Structures are given as C-alpha cells and as structure tokens.
Structure 1
Amino acid sequence: MLEVKALDVRYGPVHAAKGVDLSVKPGELVALLGANGAGKSSTLMAIAGVVPRAGGSVTFDGRDTAGETPEALSRRGLAVCPEGRRIFTALTVGENLSLAEAAHGKGQDAASAARKDALLGRFPVLAERLHQKAGLLSGGEQQMLAVARALLTGPRMVLMDEPSLGLAPQMVDEIFALIEEMKADGITILLVEQNVPLSLEVADHAVVLANGRVALAGPASELSQGDAIRRAYLAAEG
C-alpha cells in the first residue's frame, strides 16, 4: 500500500528526515515512533504531500506520488488525521463533516449518505452534537471528529499524527479502541504516536526514528520485548 525509500525532508538548514525507509502492507498498522524532534511528523507530512521532499520516493497504491497534491492523494484514498486535530472550531460538527464531503466530491449519493449514517452511529456523541460548534467539544470529542472527518471520505489508508496528544487517560483508551476498530475494518494505518506501549499493542510493525534516521524496525511484538526501543530513544536524545 505504501513504500517509502530514502526519504529526505529539509526545512532550510534543518534536516528533519534523513533517508527514511518504511513500508506498510494493505490492512496493516505500522507505528512510527521516536522522541520529540526525531522526524516523525515531517515524514508523515511528506508522505501526505503537505511538505515537499528533498529526496527519495513515496509510492502509494502502486504509483509514485511525485508531483501529486495532498488533494489528489486524498482523492486516491489517502486520508490524514493531523496533529492537533485542526478542525474548524467556528463551524458546527455537521458543517465540518459536510465540508470534508464536499472537498472530495462526495455526499450526493446513497453510498455517501450510508457511510455518514454509519459513522454517526459509531460516534454517537457527534450525532448528538451535530448542530453544536466544534470548538465547544472536549479534546477527545474533537479528536473523534477529526477521525470521523477522515473516515467520511472512505479512505484506503489513514495517516494518524499523535491522536492521543493531550487527552485524558480514559479518552486515550477510547481513541486506541477506535484505531483497533479501523484496523479490523481493513483500513491501512500509519500511526505516529508518543504512547509507545499502546502503539506496540495495536501495531503489526513499528519503525523507530532517531535524529531523522531509522534506528530500529521490526514486528511490534518483538520490539515490545527488551530495551531496544529505550536504547533508540536514548540515541535520539544524545
């Protein structure tokens, strides 16, 4: 589904990602881990086409993404749940969802209506607050809205950036339960997340970045054992 080879990302003199390699198979959940500043979000945003890549290649669904805009990638089935949710707080919950549909040319047919009804069934709190300003939702509810907005487009793959950031422990558990549901539904996921234990519980494979480079990669069940990840994090901080 996704193949990233020798990905480089630069912001002026800052070299954020340095030759990153990773792959995600259809239906797989891969966790992209690392300390703050390791290059995780930069890698994710380069995959999504939001920031330009200085080198390397990204192949999504068998096709190189060079020259494709984020909008084009989204229409090909690549959805993003960005760090900080980035919902439209001045709009209602319903308006946020309708805007996502309109941006993808959806919402005018029976299939789109059925998808929206199913999503509101999955997120009853959003259904209850459909006409409420999104900015009045709690942090966890806003994260649910961000996920629902992405799922509304019927994506084949979702890039999730720090979905549990700033949430209360109970809401973190709910968000990870939702991620497991998405995986069970066959959605391919690349997850950037600071909560290492929970990430390794839900992931099939994990990639650990340190100082912009891949320091460790392998099956999540194996990486959860021993102290290899701890050493990789210490390398990032050294």
Structure 2
Amino acid sequence: MLTVRGLDVHYGSVHALKGVDLEVARGTVTALLGANGAGKTSTLMAVAGARRASGGAIEFEGRALIGMRPEAIIRSGIGVVPEGRRVFASLTVEENLRVAGSLHTDRAEAERLRGAMMERFPILAERRTQRAGLLSGGEQQMLAIARALMSAPRLLLLDEPSLGLAPQMVDRVFDLIAELKAEGLAMLLVEQNVPLSLEIADRVVVLANGRVSVAGTAEELAGSDLIRGAYLAA
C-alpha cells in the first residue's frame, strides 16, 4: 500500500534521513521506532508532504507522492495525527471536525462522517461545544484522531499518539488503534512505547541516525537484543 524507497531528507546542511526504506501493507500496522532525533517524525512528514524529500521515492497505492501538496495527499487517502495533537485550540470540538470535513466535496458525506466520529468518541459528543484548547490531553488526542478520520483515510500516520498521556489514556489510545486495525485501516505508527508498539504492529522498522538499523516482523523482533540496541542508539 505504502512503499518508501531510498528516502533522503535534509534540513539545510543536516542530512536527517539517509536512504530509508519501509513498507505498509493493506490492513496492517508498521511501527517506526527509534531514539529521539533518529528521523521518525521526518519520515512521517515526508510521506504526508509536510517535509520535502531530497531523494528517493514514496508511493501510495502505486501513485508517486513526492511533489504533491499535503492537502492532495490527504485527499488521496492518507490521514495524519501529528505529534503534540495540534488541535485548533480556539475552535470547539465540533468546529475542529467541520474544518476537517471541509476536504469533502460531498457535504452530506462530511456530515455523516462527523456523526460517526461523535458515535465513536462519546467524550467528544459530550464536549462538542467546548473549545478544544480546554480539553484534557487525552481528549485532545481523541479529537486529533477523529479529525484525521474525517477524511476517511485508507492509511493513517500516527506520530507519538501516547506522548504525555496518563497510563489509562495510553491504553485507550492503543485499544482504539487495535479497533481501527480490525476494521482494515492501515497505519504507520511512530511511538516511544516499544512494548505496546510490538503488541499492535505487524512489522517494525527501527531508525538510528537517519538510517534503518533493524527491520522485520514484530514477532521476529519482540524480545530481541537488536531492538534494544538499535532503539537506544543515538
């Protein structure tokens, strides 16, 4: 479904990604792990079109993504849950979802999806008129995921969805990821919680210093010293 080959990304003179390869098959979860600064977010942002690739190829369902605008990438079937949630703090919960739904040319479909999000996330229905900036961290994360799902994606990019959340909410987020996977949604997951990532993922790619250091199935790599060594690498 998603194929990344030889991906290079530069930040000025800094070579952040150096020939990264990864794949996400339809209906599966690929976990992208690594230490801080390893290049995980840069990889997601390059796929989403928010970071310009300086080399390599990114294809989604056979279509080249490099050079496409971010909104066109979202319309092609990719949803993004950014690190830090980045909800529109001054807008209400409902307004956040309406903004996300504006990508749809079919207004009735946008309304249907908004209703579906309210059903899936009862806490958002309860808070629908509350400003997003006043929500708890966990509630904001639910809103960020709901907002991404408003585009009816076939592939979801999640960047550190458990970051800064209480343990109970971390469990809720991963339960939701499991639900979405069971429904057939493919995901590329960046996450610091390695044990939970290994439980949910089908494949694992570990980055170190902008390169893939370890890759394989979660079953192959669970409990492996290779994961620990690569993950702790600077």
Using the size of structure 2 for normalisation, the TM-score is 0.97
SS of the residue 2:212 aligns to? strand
Match for residue 147 of structure 2? 149
Counterpart residue type for residue 107 of structure 2: Q
Counting only pairs closer than 5 Å after superposition, residues 57-206 of structure 1 correspond to structure 2 as 57-102=57-102, 104-106=103-105, 108-109=107-108, 111-206=109-204
**Preserved CA contact (<8 Å) 1:101 1:107:** no
Task: Please give the per-residue CA displacement for 1:80-113, whole angstroms capped at 9, x wherever unaligned.
Answer: 00001111001100000000111x125611x433
**Preserved CA contact (<8 Å) 2:53 2:66:** no
Counterpart residue type for residue 79 of structure 2: A
Distance 1:233 1:153 in 2: 33
Q: Report the Cα offset of residue 37 of structure 1.
A: 0.4
Using a 3 Å threshold, how does the CA distance of structure 1 residues 83 and 187 change in structure 2: closer, same or farther? same
**Preserved CA contact (<8 Å) 2:104 2:151:** no
Q: Report the Cα offset of residue 227 of structure 1.
A: 1.3
Task: Please give the per-residue CA displacement for 1:149-191, whole angstroms capped at 9, x wherever unaligned.
Answer: 0111111111000000000111000000011111111111000
Using a 3 Å threshold, how does the CA distance of structure 1 residues 148 and 55 change in structure 2: closer, same or farther? same
Distance 2:43 2:150 in 1: 24
Distance 2:105 2:89 in 1: 22
For structure 2, the residue ranges without an aligned partner over 5 or more in a row are: none
Distance 2:105 2:99 in 1: 10
Distance 1:142 1:107 in 2: 27
SS of the residue 1:72 aligns to? helix
Counterpart residue type for residue 117 of structure 2: L
Distance 2:183 2:150 in 1: 14
Match for residue 2 of structure 1? 2
Task: Please give the per-residue CA displacement for 1:53-97, whole angstroms capped at 9, x wherever unaligned.
Answer: 010000011111132111001001111000011110011000000
Using a 3 Å threshold, how does the CA distance of structure 1 residues 107 and 124 change in structure 2: closer, same or farther? farther
**Preserved CA contact (<8 Å) 1:79 1:155:** yes
Match for residue 36 of structure 1? 36
Using a 3 Å threshold, how does the CA distance of structure 1 residues 83 and 146 change in structure 2: closer, same or farther? same
**Preserved CA contact (<8 Å) 1:80 1:150:** yes
Match for residue 229 of structure 2? 231
Match for residue 221 of structure 1? 219
SS of the residue 2:59 aligns to? strand
Distance 2:37 2:133 in 1: 28
**Preserved CA contact (<8 Å) 1:208 1:215:** yes
Distance 2:30 2:146 in 1: 20
Q: Which moved more, 1:112-121 or 1:192-201?
A: 112-121
| Residues paired across the two proteins, number | 234
Q: Report the Cα offset of residue 116 of structure 1.
A: 2.1
SS of the residue 1:99 aligns to? helix
Using the size of structure 1 for normalisation, the TM-score is 0.96
**Preserved CA contact (<8 Å) 1:32 1:191:** yes
SS of the residue 1:80 aligns to? strand
Distance 1:44 1:16 in 2: 13
Task: Please give the per-residue CA displacement for 1:125-165, whole angstroms capped at 9, x wherever unaligned.
Answer: 00001000101100000000000001111111110000000
Q: Report the Cα offset of residue 117 of structure 1.
A: 1.8
